[in-house]
């Protein structure tokens, strides 16, 4: 767990997996089962679909193990760093968007964490300038969390 007294992220940025699957019955279940059998927990999830395909975006507790599982099960995927933010209340969302607006940082997408060890709200943010976004948020007292903070 990360320290409550620091605002510095632990173990670098959180990695998001974007998994590309056919838009058909059972593909999400197959992914969830594959990761679950390897004791990998999905901490955040977002699904975007089109007529023929879907992108499943996930943040997991152990990304290195997840890469092996995804490769072994022949899932097509990509990884990108994201900014993971711990919130004390839903009211902080306005503060986050305002801080990033003032810094002229575009937000590409946002989705919530399903589970957080500290029982706090959490957001996954993909912005155009990830490191700058994390730095600006931290400067304004918003807690950016690292991969170690979400490991179980």
Tokens in use for 107? 């937000």
Is the pLDDT reported for residue 29 higher than 80?
A: yes
Q: Taking the alpha carbons of 117, 118, 124, 130 in that order, is the dihedral positive or negative? A: negative
| C-beta of residue 23 within 8 angstroms of C-beta of residue 49 | yes
Is the pLDDT reported for residue 78 higher than 60?
A: yes
Q: What percent of the chain has pLDDT over 90?
A: 76
Q: Look at the block and give the residue holding tokens 């002229």.
A: 104
Comparing 4-18, 58-72, 86-100, the range with the smallest average pLDDT is 4-18
Tokens in use for 17? 């997996």
Q: What is the pLDDT of residue 9?
A: 38
99 phi and psi, to 5 degrees? Answer: -60, -45
Comparing 19-28, 109-118, 122-131, the range with the smallest average pLDDT is 109-118
**Could you tell me the pTM of the whole model?**
0.86
């Amino acid at each position: 767990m990360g320290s409550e007294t620091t605002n510095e992220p632990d173990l670098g940025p959180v990695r998001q997996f974007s998994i590309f699957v056919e838009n058909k019955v059972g593909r999400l279940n197959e992914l969830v089962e594959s990761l679950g059998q390897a004791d990998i927990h999905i901490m955040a999830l977002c699904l975007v679909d089109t007529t023929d395909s879907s992108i499943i975006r996930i943040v997991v507790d152990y990304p290195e193990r997840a890469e092996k599982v995804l490769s072994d099960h022949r899932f097509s995927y990509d990884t990108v760093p994201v900014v993971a933010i711990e919130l004390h209340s839903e009211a902080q969302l306005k503060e986050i968007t305002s801080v990033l607006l003032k810094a002229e940082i575009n937000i590409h997408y946002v989705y919530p964490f399903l589970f957080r060890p500290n029982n706090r709200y959490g957001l996954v943010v993909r912005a155009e300038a990830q490191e700058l976004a994390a730095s600006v948020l931290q400067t304004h007292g918003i807690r950016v969390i690292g991969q170690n903070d979400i490991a179980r």
